[in-house]
Amino acid sequence: MGIMNCKRGLILGLANEYSLAWGVAQALHREGAELAVSFQGERQRDRVLDLAGRLEISKIFECDVSNYDAIDQMFNEIEKDWDSIDFILHAIGYSDRNELRGRFIHTSLNNFLTTMNVSVFSLTAIASRAHRMMKRGGSLLTISYFGAEKALPNYNIMGVAKAALEATVRYLALDLGPEGIRVNAISAGPIKTVAATGIGDFRQIMQYCKNASPLRRNVSIDDVGNVATYLLSHWSDGVTGEIHHVDAGFHAVAMPSDFDFDNAPFDEDSYNENA
């Protein structure tokens, strides 16, 4: 008996076997969930069909979340077979990769609006449609990043979007709580995926996080999948409005424990001036 037995839900954001959504789908499947998946466009179809087949998923929908009619159509299709739904994973983000490098001040209005629409508003658009099917309560989960809380180079407009996404989690939690619907986010550490490699100097960001994290490693899609399954299951029935870090502890420290104090540059004169 898995912890997701008798639960069914929809996964948005599966592109390939590197996607965080794939880590979550596998963990949910292992725990007995019945799944439906959506993908963004024709280019992803064959790969997503293959992945879905491996988990015996037959409900597969094409849905660009910037198209609200497509969201409606998808839920209409789901409702034909399922009279209710227990959970949704929203693992979607997009921004023009040319603006995920260089100076933040060069963010264009057009890309600001697109990034906010696809990466942030889509959660509310999905929630407004899904909550009607969550008759026995439910769980919504999205994926954020530490760039929502602290600024880092290159993440730029995506950091602003993730901050808005985390605020959206809290407002949806407040709004949907009386219906027994919980809304949470995982703030994942850097993982090599198609979306992530669009961020400038991503390899170095990953290495930096590994070196500075208490656990001295990067996290995997399986790490994210296991925590996501807990947040989508009844094991987290008392948890909502939460941003749960799955980042090997990176967010919790200001300096790595093996910082090389002996060899770090040190200016004796300026230290004495400030003493």
Angle formed by the axes of helices 122-130 and 156-176, nearest 10°? 20
> In this structure, are residues 62 and 33 in contact, taking their beta carbons and an 8 Å threshold?
no
Site string for ligand NAD, 166-205 (x = CB under 6 A): ----------------------x-xx-xxxx---------
Taking CB under 6 A as the rule, does residue 66 contact ligand NAD?
yes
Taking CB under 6 A as the rule, does residue 159 contact ligand NAD?
no
Q: Give the β-pairing of 8-12 and 87-90.
A: parallel
Phi/psi at 137 (5° precision) = 85, 180
> In this structure, are residues 111 and 101 in contact, taking their beta carbons and an 8 Å threshold?
no
- Identify residues 75-114 at the interface with ligand NAD (CB under 6 A): 91-94
Q: Is 136 left (phi over 0), alpha (psi -120 to 50) or beta?
A: alpha
Integer Cα distance of 199 and 57 in angstroms: 31
Residue 94 CB, shortest distance to ligand NAD, in Å, is 4
Q: Give the β-pairing of 181-188 and 243-246.
A: parallel
Residue 258 CB, shortest distance to ligand NAD, in Å, is 24
Site string for ligand NAD, 118-157 (x = CB under 6 A): x------------------------xxx------------
Q: In the complex with ligand NAD, which residue's Cβ is closer, 5 or 197?
A: 197
Residue set of the binding site for NAD(+): 13, 40, 64-65, 92, 162, 191-195
The residue ranges that bind ligand NAD (CB under 6 A) are 13-15, 18-21, 40, 64-66, 91-94, 118, 143-145, 188, 190-191, 193-196
